Structure 1
Amino acid sequence: MKTVTIILAIFATALSLIAENAERPNILLIVTDDQSPFAEPYPGKREPDSWGAYGANVYSPHVDELASEGMIFGDANAASPVCGPSRYSFLTGRYASRCEGPRFLELFPKGEMARPGNVIELEEDRSNVARVLKTGGYRTAFVGKSHLIRHDAIHGPKRWDRKGLRSYGLDDDPFDPRVSAAMEHNNGVWTGWMQKFGWDYVNGFYTANLKEQYNREAEVHNLEWTTRAALQFLDTVEEEDDPFFLYFSTTLPHGPNPWVKDKQTGKYKYSMDADPRITAEGIKEYDYSFMPERSELVETVVEKGFPEDTAYLSWMDAGVGALMQKLEDVGVAENTLVILISDHGAWRTGKATLHEGGMRVPMIVRWPGKVKEGSRFDGLVSLVDLVPTFYEVAGVEDSESLDGKSLTPVFDSNGETRIHETIFSEIGYARGVKTERWKYIAVRYPKHVQEQIARGERFPEYQGPKRDLPYLTRNSHLGYHAAQTNPHYFDKDQLYDLHADPMEEKNIAASNPEVVEAMKAKLSEYLRTFEERPFGEFSE
């Protein structure tokens, strides 16, 4: 009798766990790199295209279907519009300036103004989405681009040997067995490093951008390779298993620009015509039959009347299609929350600025039975809202405070409920606050930089002689291009009426002092929550 009782208890517990897992969704977060939601390119600029669902003239049937089956967001924003800090914010739920990574603290010790940029990294001793969800019973998987850990090893191979990495030359042939073996070894080391941050599965891993592989011939996008890694993880999934969180981050459409043809060969050297055997783990002969051939995609794009140089979008779209098909094949599509975003925008070279070109991103959510098909939400959303959303639907809590808000009220109301009156964003020496109508941007410099300016010192320029004021971010390349196209880049106080001037061409701060003061007060509310991170008069 006792044995029967024990068996019944075990059976009841198993049923309870199955029921609990059935209520908690799997989560698939798909991240593109440097993509804005705007349908039309800025005049005179050839920048990454958006999706067909956002009105762009591109062939993206799978993403468009995803949008038709879920909710499209019209005003989603990066909390820090450059790769590393944005990813940090939507994988921790914290603003970038709260980072306590070693490289960030080395450059910006506590007590000093932070200058958030691509030196942000996940901390070894703090929470992130993988650690929290894993503690809550989720299987966690990381596939694709990182730019989130080990900045000491990202920037150049000079001391790689001290870190367990193998060196090779910038112009070495990746098909050389020695070079390929070194790349494979290094990729394995990086994979192990990332797993320590809470990921059960890490594969198809890129340390950062393609140039951080430090080999010119290997600087090519390989979407099939990363998609294959995600599909391998999904092949291990069964309906009755613990739920999963899969982070899938492509290198596209970040540079090297996938729409550019080589002047000598006339081929898409970095994308559609690149050798698919070149991966971040060396030369690999993998089966990529789960996606159409790249040449076939180019032909399809042209046959359907779309510009040939948008084929890279159709390539990205095919990767999304492969992921969605795999969810169907393993029987979990109906219980998976799928979110498609970009880490930040690139429109009007707005990356690394708080202008709409940098902040605004495409965002699509599909969750059968929870998110209404064909719905739309035009209220304010920040990517820092993703983590609170994941935790709420997963039924877990973080021991640390979160900066965002859960999107579940938006889902539950079919897009009728607003969750933000204002959102905050930061980059370099700039901080900003945005409402649905207004945006205020403040540019302030730390004391030592103010003293340099007062002495007439000049600052590094990307092209040409030194300049009078420093760029907002340490990356002068990004600063140079942003300042060329955004006319008020250096203005100390900026106010834009986004209804009347969505392209932010007129800084109306001087003629609207009352609005400026109100927006300054809102910005101060955010900045006073940053301990030991002063920012001009706003933190006083």
Structure 2
Amino acid sequence: MLLLILLIFQFNESYAQTRNKPNVIFIMADDLGYGDIGVYGQKLIKTPNIDALAKNGIKFTQFYAGTSVCAPSRSSLMTGQHTGHTPIRGNKEAKPEGQFPLKGSAYTIAELFKDAGYVTGDFGKWGLGFVGTEGDPNKQGFDQFFGYNCQRLAHDYYPDHLWDNSTRIELPNSLTKSEVYGPDLIQARALGFIAANKTKPFFAFMSYTLPHAGLELPENDKLFLEYRNAFKESPKQVKAVKTGPSLYKGQPYPRAAYAAMVTRLDDYVGQLVSKLKDLDIEKNTLIIFTSDNGPHVEGGNDPQFFNSGGGFRGVKRDLYEGGIRAPMIMSWPSVIKAGSVSDHIGAFWDFMPTFADITSQKKPQKIDGNSILPVLKGQGSQPKHDYLYWEFHENGGRQAVRMGKWKGVRLNAKTNFNSPLELYDLANDQAESKNVAASNPEIIKKMTRIMKNARVENSDYPFTSQANIP
């Protein structure tokens, strides 16, 4: 009898500890601009469910993505390291499918959650290593993966296959036949994952592909028809464009399609929240909503028409604010005060230490982030970054530093690591319209040192050479 009582006590204690751990749902939109959400100023596109997350939680106004394109931005999130340290620093392709793999030695947020006793799932787009490689999501901490392994194949919303862990799921789609809308199938699997794990702590990474190009929706989609009528958009002559494994199908009404895809994404968010409420686990679930980089211009998309950049300069692939400043909303009813707004300066690499604090895990070494749990709890002891650093390996190579109110940008860094820095005072010039480098030589010296010392050269993604370092 004593043994039975002891076992019951231990089970109850273990169960209580498990349930005290919050569920975490991390929603990452693909190529969604800072200004594409209602609470960030969007006037033409409806996002009521995402807006409700902000109303019930906290909205950040100065939070940044890992960098300005997909794979390295996601690597930064996964590893808690900025792009001067994270293993994946570009969209490098690999055969037969997928991108250059995240190294097996990398420690990811999914692995941290698993170490804390969580069930983990990724639903959407991976892009950090093909099935069977060391970058396979199942080898990087995810118990379940369903979606597009290859980010280039994710350009097609009617794919001929998706991946269920290591099993290829054939779909009845082709260039001339569109029967199964990939994102709907992915959403259904995600909702099933949440329902199946309602009694366990879970981490769900919702790596949605919307609203990345190509701009595709199911035939006779209601949202698409509503926006087409609202915008009175004239049809454009288009054709499918194939580059390597990429396929951008033509879209004669790109504005209506983009808006409808954003609102469809918003509907998916609403479905997730409804599922949590139905399962009575909403209060103990942290929901994070953001985007991997700034708005795209592919597939006929028109970010200027929607003010997708929210008034900031630049788009995807730029290290100006429009390319890297991201919408960042978090809702956690039992912890975060509803209707909060924070101007704390943070970035993707802050999530590793934040999740470590939330799950009572030891923070990994060699990370670049600070936990933002004090901000979420409304405490005044939030540590601040001395600086934030980014690099981008395409278009001649670019670097950027955010240091307090100052923002430095260097172009053509791969050919000349000593090329002149542009400097902007974001407190007075958020549009980065006036380069004040000439009148602030000491700030330029500091940023020059940061750009040189904040990074470690990566042989898989060479950025500099001894010849171009001063």
Shorter-chain TM-score tier: 0.7 to 0.9
Residues 302-346 of structure 1 show CA distances to partners (whole Å, capped at 9, x for unaligned) of: 7999x9552222211100000111111122111111100100112
Kept after mapping to 1: 8 A contact 2:70/2:293: yes
Distance in 1, Cα, partners of 2:69 & 2:177: 23
Kept after mapping to 1: 8 A contact 2:457/2:464: no
Kept after mapping to 2: 8 A contact 1:380/1:422: no
Distance in 1, Cα, partners of 2:5 & 2:142: 34
Distance in 2, Cα, partners of 1:523 & 1:140: 36
Distance 1:336 1:127, change over 3 A: same
Letter in 1 for 2:208: T
Which ranges in structure 1 are unaligned for 5 or more consecutive residues? 39-49, 108-117, 154-188, 259-269, 275-293, 451-471, 473-489
Kept after mapping to 1: 8 A contact 2:76/2:86: no
**1:226 corresponds to 2:186:** yes
Letter in 2 for 1:71: I
2:401 match:
433
2:299 match:
none
Q: CA deviation at 1:420?
A: 2.5
Distance 1:323 1:206, change over 3 A: farther
SS of the residue corresponding to residue 510 of structure 1 reads helix
Letter in 1 for 2:290: I
SS of the residue corresponding to residue 358 of structure 2 reads helix
Distance 1:388 1:222, change over 3 A: same
Q: CA deviation at 1:384?
A: 1.1
Distance in 1, Cα, partners of 2:333 & 2:342: 17
1:513 to 418, 441, 449: 441
Kept after mapping to 1: 8 A contact 2:314/2:321: no
Distance in 2, Cα, partners of 1:145 & 1:273: 23
2:355 match:
390
1:78 match:
65
2:23 match:
26
Q: CA deviation at 1:421?
A: 4.1
2:222 match:
295
TM, length-normalised to structure 2: 0.76
SS of the residue corresponding to residue 74 of structure 2 reads helix
2:117 match:
137
Q: CA deviation at 1:351?
A: 1.5
1:94 to 77, 81, 86: 81
Residues 348-405 of structure 1 show CA distances to partners (whole Å, capped at 9, x for unaligned) of: 5522221111111101000112111000011211111112111210112354422111
Larger-Rg structure: 1
Q: CA deviation at 1:435?
A: 2.7
Letter in 1 for 2:50: V
Q: CA deviation at 1:415?
A: 7.9
1:124 match:
104
- Shifted more, 194-203 versus 374-383: the winner is 194-203
Distance in 2, Cα, partners of 1:80 & 1:73: 17
Distance 1:52 1:211, change over 3 A: closer
2:420 match:
492
Letter in 2 for 1:500: N
2:286 match:
337
Listed as ranges, the matches of 1:376-455 within 5 Å are 376-413=341-378, 417=382, 419-428=384-393, 429-443=397-411, 445=413, 449=415
Kept after mapping to 2: 8 A contact 1:301/1:314: no
Kept after mapping to 2: 8 A contact 1:272/1:295: no
Distance in 1, Cα, partners of 2:385 & 2:452: 16
2:219 match:
273
2:171 match:
none
Letter in 2 for 1:373: A
SS of the residue corresponding to residue 333 of structure 1 reads coil
Distance in 2, Cα, partners of 1:503 & 1:103: 26
Distance in 2, Cα, partners of 1:226 & 1:442: 39
Distance 1:445 1:425, change over 3 A: closer
Distance in 1, Cα, partners of 2:392 & 2:225: 37
Kept after mapping to 2: 8 A contact 1:75/1:378: yes
Letter in 1 for 2:185: W
Distance 1:217 1:67, change over 3 A: farther
1:55 match:
41
Q: CA deviation at 1:70?
A: 0.2
Distance in 1, Cα, partners of 2:206 & 2:340: 24
Q: CA deviation at 1:77?
A: 0.7
Letter in 2 for 1:271: L
SS of the residue corresponding to residue 389 of structure 2 reads strand
Displaced runs of 4+ in structure 1, greater than 6 A? 101-107, 218-221, 300-305, 529-534, 536-540
Q: CA deviation at 1:418?
A: 5.8
Kept after mapping to 2: 8 A contact 1:99/1:120: no
Which ranges in structure 2 are unaligned for 5 or more consecutive residues? 161-173, 233-254, 296-308
Distance in 2, Cα, partners of 1:351 & 1:207: 19
Distance in 1, Cα, partners of 2:183 & 2:91: 30
**1:236 corresponds to 2:236:** no
SS of the residue corresponding to residue 16 of structure 2 reads helix
Distance in 1, Cα, partners of 2:149 & 2:346: 28
SS of the residue corresponding to residue 334 of structure 1 reads coil
